[in-house]
Every structure is written in C-alpha cells, then in structure tokens.
Amino acid sequence: MSKISDIMIESLQTQLKTALVLTPDSEGYEASLVRWSETGIKPAGVVVQAVDSADISTALLWAQKHGLDVAVKGGGHSTAGTSSSDGGLVIDLSRMKNVKVDPMAKTVNAQGGATWKEVDEAGAAYGLATVGGTVNHTGIGGLTLGGGYGWLSGQYGLTIDNLLSARVVLADGSLVTASASEHPELFWGLRGAGYNFGVVVDFTYQAYDQAELVFSGILAFTSERLEQVFEQLNAILAIPDSRSGAMCIFAQAPDGSGPMIIVICFYNGATEEGEKRFSGLIHLRPILNTLGMIPYSIVNTLQNPQATYGARKSFKGIFYEPPVDLKFARTVFEDFMAKIQDEPDLMQSAIILEFIDMRKICETPVSATAFASRNFTQNGIIYLRWTDESKDLEHRTWAREIQAKWKTKLDTRVIGQKREGEVPQYINYAERKSFPLLYV
Ligand SMILES: Cc1cc2nc3c(=O)[nH]c(=O)nc-3n(C[C@H](O)[C@H](O)[C@H](O)COP(=O)(O)OP(=O)(O)OC[C@H]3O[C@@H](n4cnc5c(N)ncnc54)[C@H](O)[C@@H]3O)c2cc1C
C-alpha cells in the first residue's frame, strides 16, 4: 500500500466539500481512532469524517486511485479491528447519526453512523420500535449488516428481517438503493454478509407500535443457585413466548464480593404477565431483583455498565442447543471463575448465554438473505476483558478452548435431535467469527 503524502491529502481536501479530514498531525485524530475495544485501534493514514454520500463517494474513489486500504467505521464495536486501518483510509460515519421517523408508514430511517441509542429514542418519541441491539451504544451499521438480534427478535425476527432498504455507495462511487425491488442481489447480500459490498449511507427499517413501558430488569443469584437458575431458564424457553427473552451472565460481582449469576429478563407486556413468566426465577430468592416496568429504550442500557469503552476485549461466539445441560453449565462456570481468580486482570470478563424465542427468525427461509444461521440454536458469548497487551494471544487462546468445549457439546447434541419444522443447519461453527456471525 502506498504511503499517504501531503500532496495526496491536499487533493483529497480539495475534492471534499463538507467532510472533516484528520491526519496524524490533526487535532482530533487520536480521538477518532478510539474504538470500543483497544484491540480494534489502528493508526489510520487519514480519517475522513463524512457528512453525506458525496463525501463517502469522493473518499472511496480517492483511496482507490492511490491503492489505499479502506475501512468503514460505524459504531466502532468490532473487537477485531475491521472498522480501522493501519496506514490507510478510514471512512468514519460518526457524524452521520440522523434518524427520521415516519409515524404514518411506521418506518425509521437512520444514517449509517447512528447507534441504537438514537434509533431507540427517536422511535420511542412516536411510540414505535424496531429490532435493535441490546447494548445501545453499538452501531446500527455493523449490527444490521451482520444480521442483528435484539429483545424484539422473538416478535419480529432479526434486524435484517425488518430492513426495508439501504442506500449504499458502491466501490465505483455511485449511490444506489438496495431493497426487495431495487438491486435485489445487493439487498440479499447486505442482509447478513454486508460488511464489504459498499458503504451504507442510511438504513430504513420497519417499526412497530411499542408501549412505552416493558417488564424488564436484573436478577442476581449466588453461585450455588446455578442449577436451579438453569432449570428455570430451560423451562421458560421450553414454552416459548415471542414477547419474552432472557440473558444469563456469569460474572464477578461489581463490588468484588464473588462470582454471580445474573439474569436479565425481558417481557414485552405488563407486570403481571412478566412476573408470571419469570416467577420460577423470582421465587429462587435472588440477591438482587430490579424487575419492573421500564421504558423499552432503557432496557437496552441495562448492560452498558458492563460494556464500557476501554481495555482490550475478545468476543468468541458459542452456540448451544437448549436445554442447557446443568452439569456442563456448572463446569463452565467453575472453570471460568477459577481462571478469573488466577488472572485478576480478567476480572471484568463474562460468559453470556441468550434465551431467545427463535421461531420468528426461523420463519424466514435461510435462502432469503445472506444470514446463514436461522435455526433453534441459541447464542452465547465468551467476553474477555483485560489490560495487559502481552496477554492478547494467551487470553484469546483460552477463550477458543472454552469455545471448543461448547462446540463439542453442540456437535454431539445436534445429531438426531432435529425439531419438527426445523431445517438442519450443518454449518461449520468453528468457521463462524467470534460472536454470532453478526458480532464481527
Ligand atoms: C457490547 C456489544 C454488544 C453487542 N450486542 C449485540 C446485540 O445485542 N445484537 C447483535 O446482533 N449484535 C450485538 N453486538 C455485535 C455487533 O452487532 C457487532 O460487533 C457489530 O459489528 C458492531 O457494529 P458497529 O457499527 O458498532 O461496529 P464497527 O466496528 O464500526 O463496524 C463493524 C463492521 O461493520 C462495518 N460497517 C459498520 N457500519 C457500516 C456501514 N454503514 N456501511 C458499511 N459497513 C459498515 C465496518 O466496516 C466493520 O467491518 C454487540 C457488540 C458489542 C461490542
């Protein structure tokens, strides 16, 4: 790749009408490199903070003319650094966060650099919501293009199942609209494998009437309750309810008082319905119970305190077929906590298991989009967080070892146990990038 000269930068600046151009000498350059995980930070040769599609087009053509590496930054949550470039051009969309709601059509149009916070809040102002991420500072760009799960997936499917159209700047600089009727092949690819087809200027989503308040919150249990908690979670998922979901998290108590099992509960309905749904868990006498009626947009902030910016991070996806095997869960929990005791730098790490009603997601044929994993397998994440850079390889290797245990468990479970109506998905789980496909 060629080195970026002052003359090249001058020509870029002359061509750009509105974008901010940041080079290593510019004020704001270092700040523009910041990503959710320090592992995602790379020293860009130049950062173009675009404000419209013309900026994006100009920057793309300029980079190609000079044979430069190009990265696109949406919300900056890739732990693998896919939204950063070492010495090349970063097209940074963080100044493109506008969201427009059409309350009559019940659609939300959001620019490619928006986060779910902007989308959730704009929708809420009109009593609407769409399927977004469960941590609201995540970018809509990477999440949508990878598929996208959220608390509303049980009712409405994946984020891509609610994507109506996307306006995309292609490599030749042209701006096209991709939808079911325009550039349908591109639209197919964007939905699930979308990171490299172009730069998405904005996304238009189907939205739904959403009551302001939903039943949600956190239950926390001490470690001896693990088997009982999973018995309850297994029982809850065995009788799926599209309006309900849960997440079980193995973590250290924030006050350092020891290992905990945290369950985030979600029910898109009233208190009585939610309490009934989660009564088995509530009766286990959690040490913390914050369940109650809260705004839907606030549900997507519940994990923010554990998902702050800073430090080095790794996400490894795990996939499991419910019901969770209690003995296996116990072993994973103990191994994880022992590791954290040995390596206090990993103290803020967690293992997260999702319990989502997959029926709606599986209603869409696998061939309808580029998202390959429509099945009843549940998703989880091994989330490691540390500060010592010299431990990167060691920690990632360890996460892969735990991941391999889940894979073995899944492989042995899947054989011969297909559910009625389920299309078997013999995908190679080992090839799935960290975090379920979408978590690049
Ligand atoms: C704390 C946390 C919580 C998460 N929660 C969820 C969740 O609830 N549900 C879920 O499905 N996923 C979740 N994810 C995974 C998340 O969807 C992916 O990490 C996603 O890639 C992040 O998107 P981003 O725009 O923030 O990241 P970025 O690092 O900016 O981008 C990721 C990739 O997408 C590309 N990209 C981003 N925007 C555009 C665009 N406009 N046009 C073209 N390419 C673009 C980038 O080039 C890069 O390759 C979570 C991740 C984190 C870190």
**Token match 């919300």: residue?**
75
Spell out the alpha helix ranges (H) of 283-369.
296-299, 326-342, 359-363
Provide the whole-model pTM.
Answer: 0.93
E strand or H helix at 47:
strand 46-49
| Angstrom distance (rounded) from CA 32 to CA 13 | 18
| Angstrom distance (rounded) from CA 187 to CA 360 | 20
Residue type at 371 in one-letter notation? F
Q: Which residues pair with 146 in a beta bridge?
A: none
Q: What's the number of CA atoms in the CB half-sphere (13 Å) around residue 359?
A: 13
Supply the pLDDT for residue 413: 65
Residue type at 379 in one-letter notation? N
pLDDT in tens, 22-76: 999 999 999 999 999 999 999 999 999 999 999 999 999 999 999 999 999 999 9
Q: Is the CB of 371 under 6 A from ligand 1?
A: no
pLDDT in tens, 330-384: 999 999 999 999 999 999 999 999 999 999 999 999 999 999 989 999 999 999 9
Q: What's the number of CA atoms in the CB half-sphere (13 Å) around residue 338?
A: 7
pLDDT in tens, 209-220: 999 999 999 999
Domains by residue range for the chain, with CATH: 6-92 (3.30.43.10), 99-209 (3.30.465.10), 213-431 (3.40.462.20)
Distance between Cα 78 and ligand 1 center (Å): 6
Q: What is the mean pLDDT of residues 119-126?
A: 98
Ligand 1 mutation pick, 38, 83, 374, max ligand atoms within 8 A of CB: 83
Residue type at 158 in one-letter notation? L
Tokens of 41: 């930070």
Q: Is the CB of 141 under 6 A from ligand 1?
A: yes
Q: What is the DSSP letter of 379?
A: E
Q: What is the DSSP letter of 139?
A: B
Q: Which of 376, 387, 385 is nearest to 421 (CA)?
A: 376
Tokens of 355: 């319990």
Q: Is the CB of 146 under 6 A from ligand 1?
A: yes
3-state DSSP assignment of residue 136: coil
Contact by Cβ (8 Å): 68, 4: yes
**Token match 């051009």: residue?**
89
Q: How many CB atoms lie within 10 A of CB 350?
A: 21
Q: Is the CB of 247 under 6 A from ligand 1?
A: no
